[in-house]
């Protein structure tokens, strides 16, 4: 599904290397987690994969089902099936959440040569998905993420994921700012989407999300590199001992 | 005492007026027109150094003839306001077209052509035609409005006595590439009366239009206009409004395209507890023809507890220029005034420019007035967020453009009219994307 080879990335504005040779492969249907201290480059990786401006790839490659991701516009990556649940979902004043969701869904359908979904079918679909995430009509009516609490923003990200049905989902600290109930809602939402044809890359700072979304593989990232890879136990090790041991052991 | 007028202004004026004669009319009209001409001669035409003409060159308006303007091809698109049950009155190149118009009859209002009213020896219009314009000449001179009062032959004289049964829609078609339109309407709303006036279309290659509105005590005037889409047309328009006690005045203008547009709006809050909302949305692209859009607004508070609100939004690209000159003047004694002014532009590239001159002048101590003028680029974070969801960049940009304009459109009270405007903008943007 997702293949990242020796990825080197620096900032466009200053000569600062952030990713220093990331290698990662997420097979079809797998759930991989990336953990790591703040500032290690996790969000940068998610942004570079989804095509945000401001970064320069100096070496390496990234592909989705064999297609070169780095060569595509952000919207093309989305149409190819990539989805990023943002660490900080963006507020867009003046654009209604419903309009946003419908425009996104129909844009992807158009890009894939499918017909646009009718307004009635769309409404039915959104209502059904929103219900399971406890997103009420008011949140759908308001401008995108405006006046949403931290937890509401994260649930709105998962709603988008559920509607767009991407095949490669990247979740960047979707657990941050969530209370226990919201964590459960979000995890259930993600787990409901787990499927043989869909893969996940779950970025998190804490282990607790991984109790709900159980990963197949856990990677530890530090200073722009994956420094250790293991099973779900690796997350527990981090939880108990912090990153210090792993960092010193690989230093 | 007027200061002596500079010779170049007078020269420009005599060149501009060469071959123009005051229209024939009844006694009151003739006197009014002569007085307007005298006002104009005392001012001369605007010059680039004039305080309120520094951001907008008056050259094309001063020129004796309009610049030719191609007639826009709407390609069979449904007419603006077409879904609304309304009385249609059509002008072609600034000239009333009886055949294309509905009969000038509507319950709750009386409509006459200016020509008829001006032909009468005595007419109520005498108390309004050129009167609000005259009062709007101070403290800022508006020579084109005086020129209009002096020379206009075309226009409507409307008296609203109750609640107008339907909106009145003035449809301004443009057919002649060199037409020079001169149109002057007056509207008087008697106490408690209610009228929605819709205007749409470019009118002419060059348009000079004046609308004088007297809103009586407790009356309500709703005004929504769109100025067509002809790329090269030039327009100078003035609205002069005087508001009575507890009256409502709401005016919204949508402008897309146009080589030159200057929309002046002069509102005088005369009666206590009146409300005036003036809004505008402009969207300009300098790629096909130059785009220069100027909103010049002057609101005078001269009564207690009045509310005025100005909301102007401009989206500019490819070298388009937007101007906003907005003033709130609170006269001594106009206590509890609530004055608000917002002017914002969205610059879609580095070539476009927004020039703003917001002004507050307050001579009362118990008032709440605020103003804000901003100019910014598209929100990159929002754009990336939309694109990351699969929305292509041009479409994502348009969504943000519509979102930016939404505040101004929200000033339109009638939901169906607001929907028509929003739907059109969406369609025009979609068409532009191809
Ligand atoms: N646009 C940027 N400008 C400046 N520094 C940046 C930018 N993006 C990332 N960084 C820096 O890169 C490093 C990695 O950041 P980030 O990818 O957000 O880490 P993480 O998500 O693992 O906490 C940090 O040192 C951060 O300050
Ligand atoms: Mg991060």
Closest CA to A230 of A248, A212, A210, A208: A210
Beta-sheet strands, E only, within B161-205: 168-173, 180-189, 194-200
Report whether residue A46 contacts ligand 1, using a CB cutoff of 6 Å.
Answer: no
A70 secondary structure, DSSP code: G
Predicted local distance difference test score (pLDDT) of residue B242: 98
Instruction: Extract the tokens encoding B193.
Output: 């009366």
What ipTM did this prediction achieve? Answer: 0.96
Phi, psi of B239 (to 5 degrees): -115, 130
Instruction: Extract the tokens encoding B188.
Output: 């008087």
Predicted local distance difference test score (pLDDT) of residue B233: 97
> Which residue has the CA at smallest separation from atom 16 of ligand 1?
A41
Predicted local distance difference test score (pLDDT) of residue B1: 40
Cis bond before residue B122 (omega within 30° of 0): no
Q: Compute chain A's Rg from CA coordinates.
A: 18
Report whether residue A44 contacts ligand 1, using a CB cutoff of 6 Å.
Answer: yes
Instruction: Extract the tokens encoding B202.
Output: 């470019």
A94 → closest Cβ in B384, B391, B404: B404
Report whether residue A38 contacts ligand 1, using a CB cutoff of 6 Å.
Answer: yes
Mean pLDDT for A163-186 is: 91
Instruction: Reply yes or no on whether the pLDDT at A222 is more than 60.
Output: yes
Say if CB B277 and CB B371 are below 8 A apart: no
pLDDT band at A177 (very low <50, low <70, confident <90, very high): confident
B382–A92: do the CB atoms touch at under 8 Å? Answer: yes
Model-level pTM?
0.93
Domain ranges in chain A? 2-96+168-250
Closest residue in B to A94 (Cα–Cα): B403
The size of the A-B interface in CB pairs under 8 A is 82
A104 → closest Cβ in B380, B391, B406: B391
- Alpha carbon distances (Å) from B114 to B93, B195, B204, B354, B368: 16, 19, 19, 37, 40
Say if CB B281 and CB B371 are below 8 A apart: no
Give the minimum alpha-carbon distance from B39 to chain A in angstroms, rounded to a whole number. 46
Closest CA to B301 of B327, B325, B263, B331: B331
Neighbours of B374 (CB within 10 A): 11
B388 → closest Cβ in A78, A99, A103: A78
Neighbours of A71 (CB within 10 A): 12
SS3 B210: strand
Instruction: Give A44-103 pLDDT, tens digit per residue.
Output: 999 999 999 999 999 999 999 999 999 999 999 999 999 999 999 999 999 999 999 999
Say if CB A209 and CB A31 are below 8 A apart: no
Contacts of A73 in chain B (CB under 8 A): 387, 392-393
Instruction: Give A129-174 pLDDT, tens digit per residue.
Output: 999 888 998 999 999 999 999 889 999 999 999 999 999 999 999 9
pLDDT band at A251 (very low <50, low <70, confident <90, very high): low
Instruction: Extract the tokens encoding B95.
Output: 């000239």
User: What span, in angstroms and rounded, lies between the C-alpha atoms of A29 and A58?
Assistant: 30
| Distance linking the first and last C-alpha atoms of chain B | 58
User: What span, in angstroms and rounded, lies between the C-alpha atoms of A1 and A65?
Assistant: 5
Instruction: Reply yes or no on whether the pLDDT at A207 is more than 90.
Output: no
Contact partners, residue B19, CB within 8 Å, separation at least 6: none
Instruction: Extract the tokens encoding B164.
Output: 């107008």
Is B101 exposed, middle or buried, given 0-12, 13-18 or 19+ CB atoms closer than 10 A?
middle
User: What span, in angstroms and rounded, lies between the C-alpha atoms of B429 and B404?
Assistant: 14
- Residue B318, sorted as left (phi over 0), alpha (psi -120 to 50) or beta, turns out to be left
CA dihedral for A85, A91, A95, A98, sign (positive or negative): positive
Give residue A202 CA to ligand 2 midpoint distance, Å.
12
Report whether residue A42 contacts ligand 1, using a CB cutoff of 6 Å.
Answer: yes
Closest residue in A to B410 (Cα–Cα): A94
User: What span, in angstroms and rounded, lies between the C-alpha atoms of B392 and B383?
Assistant: 10
Predicted local distance difference test score (pLDDT) of residue B3: 59
Say if CB B424 and CB B296 are below 8 A apart: no
Predicted local distance difference test score (pLDDT) of residue B6: 83
Contacts of B400 in chain A (CB under 8 A): 92, 94-95
Instruction: Extract the tokens encoding B313.
Output: 């939004």
Say if CB A41 and CB A21 are below 8 A apart: no
Predicted local distance difference test score (pLDDT) of residue B10: 86
Closest CA to B12 of B41, B49, B38, B33: B41
> Which residue has the CA at smallest separation from atom 3 of ligand 1?
A11
> Which residue has the CA at smallest separation from atom 25 of ligand 1?
A39
Chain B contact for A114, CB < 8 A? no
Contacts of A111 in chain B (CB under 8 A): 390, 392
Contacts of B406 in chain A (CB under 8 A): 94
Mutate to test the interface with B, among A13, A47, A72, A74 (most CBs of B within 10 A): A74
Q: Does domain A2-96+168-250 have CATH number 3.40.50.150?
A: no
Say which residue the tokens 């912090």 belong to: A242
User: What span, in angstroms and rounded, lies between the C-alpha atoms of B275 and B11?
Assistant: 42
Ligand in closest contact with the CA of A44: 1
Say if CB B358 and CB B328 are below 8 A apart: no
| Residues of chain B under the 70 pLDDT cut | 1-3
Predicted local distance difference test score (pLDDT) of residue B97: 98
Predicted local distance difference test score (pLDDT) of residue A245: 79
> Which residue has the CA at smallest separation from atom 12 of ligand 1?
A18
- Alpha carbon distances (Å) from B260 to A148, A214, B293, B322, B323: 42, 63, 6, 10, 11
Say which residue the tokens 């946003």 belong to: A100
Give residue A28 CA to ligand 2 midpoint distance, Å.
25
B59 secondary structure, DSSP code: H
């Amino acid at each position: 599904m997702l293949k990242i080879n020796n990825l080197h990335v620096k900032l466009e504005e200053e000569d600062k290397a952030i990713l220093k040779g990331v290698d990662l492969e997420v097979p079809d249907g797998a759930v991989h987690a990336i953990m790591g201290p703040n500032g290690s480059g996790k969000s940068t990786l998610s942004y570079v994969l989804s095509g945000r401006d401001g970064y320069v790839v100096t070496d390496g490659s990234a592909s989705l089902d064999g297609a070169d991701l780095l060569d595509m516009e952000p919207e093309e990556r989305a149409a190819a099936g990539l989805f990023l649940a943002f660490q900080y979902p963006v507020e867009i004043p003046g654009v209604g959440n419903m309009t946003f969701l419908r425009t996104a869904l129909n844009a992807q359908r158009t890009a894939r040569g499918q017909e646009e979904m009718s307004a009635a079918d769309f409404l039915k679909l959104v209502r059904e998905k929103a219900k399971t995430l406890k997103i009420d009509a008011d949140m759908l009516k308001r401008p995108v993420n405006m006046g949403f609490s931290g937890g509401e923003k994260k649930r709105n990200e998962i709603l988008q994921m559920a509607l767009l049905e991407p095949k490669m989902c990247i979740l960047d600290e979707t657990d941050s700012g969530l209370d226990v109930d919201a964590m459960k809602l979000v995890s259930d939402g993600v787990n409901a989407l787990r499927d043989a044809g869909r893969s996940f890359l779950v970025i998190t700072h804490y282990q607790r999300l991984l109790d709900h979304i159980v990963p197949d593989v856990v990677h530890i990232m530090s200073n722009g590199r994956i420094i250790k890879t293991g099973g779900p136990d690796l997350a527990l090790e981090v939880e108990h001992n912090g990153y210090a041991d792993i960092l010193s052991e690989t230093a | 005492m007027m200061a002596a007028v500079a010779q170049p202004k007078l020269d420009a004026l005599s060149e501009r007026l060469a071959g123009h004669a005051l229209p024939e009319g009844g006694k009151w009209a003739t006197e009014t027109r002569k007085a307007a001409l005298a006002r104009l001669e005392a001012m001369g035409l605007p010059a680039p150094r004039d305080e309120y003409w520094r951001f907008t060159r008056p050259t094309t308006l001063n020129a004796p003839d309009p610049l030719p303007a191609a007639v826009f091809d709407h390609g069979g698109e449904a007419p603006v306001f077409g879904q609304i049950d309304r009385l249609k009155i059509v002008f072609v190149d600034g000239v009333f077209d009886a055949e294309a118009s509905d009969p000038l009859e509507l319950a709750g209002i009386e409509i006459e052509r200016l020509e008829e009213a001006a032909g009468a020896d005595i007419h109520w219009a005498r108390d309004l035609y050129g009167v609000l314009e005259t009062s709007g000449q101070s403290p800022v001179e508006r020579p084109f409005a005086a020129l209009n009062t002096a020379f206009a032959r075309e226009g409507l004289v409307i008296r609203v006595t109750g609640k107008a049964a339907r909106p009145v829609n003035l449809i301004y078609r443009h057919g002649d590439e060199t037409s020079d339109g001169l149109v002057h309407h007056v509207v008087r709303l008697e106490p408690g009366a209610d009228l929605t006036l819709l205007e749409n279309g470019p009118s002419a290659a060059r348009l000079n239009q004046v609308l004088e509105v007297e809103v009586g005590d407790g009356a309500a005037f709703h005004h929504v206009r769109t100025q067509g889409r002809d790329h090269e047309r030039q327009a100078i328009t003035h609205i002069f409004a005087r508001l009575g006690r507890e009256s409502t005045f709401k005016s919204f203008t949508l402008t897309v395209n146009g080589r030159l547009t200057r929309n002046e709006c002069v509102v005088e809050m005369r009666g206590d507890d009146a409300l005036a909302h003036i809004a505008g949305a402009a969207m300009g692209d300098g790629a096909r023809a130059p785009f220069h859009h100027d909103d010049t607004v002057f609101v005078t508070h001269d009564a207690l507890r009045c509310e005025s609100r100005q909301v102007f939004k401009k989206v500019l690209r490819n070298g388009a220029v937007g101007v906003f000159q907005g003033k709130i003047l609170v006269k001594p004694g106009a206590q509890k005034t609530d004055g608000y002014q917002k002017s914002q532009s969205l610059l879609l590239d580095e070539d476009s420019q927004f020039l703003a001159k917001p002004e507050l002048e307050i001579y009362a101590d118990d008032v709440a007035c605020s103003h804000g003028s901003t100019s910014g680029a598209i929100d990159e974070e929002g754009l990336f967020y939309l694109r990351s969801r699969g929305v292509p960049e041009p479409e994502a940009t348009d969504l943000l453009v519509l979102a930016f304009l939404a505040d101004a459109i929200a000033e339109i009270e009638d939901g169906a009219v607001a929907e028509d405007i929003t739907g059109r903008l969406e369609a025009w943007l979609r068409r532009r994307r191809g």
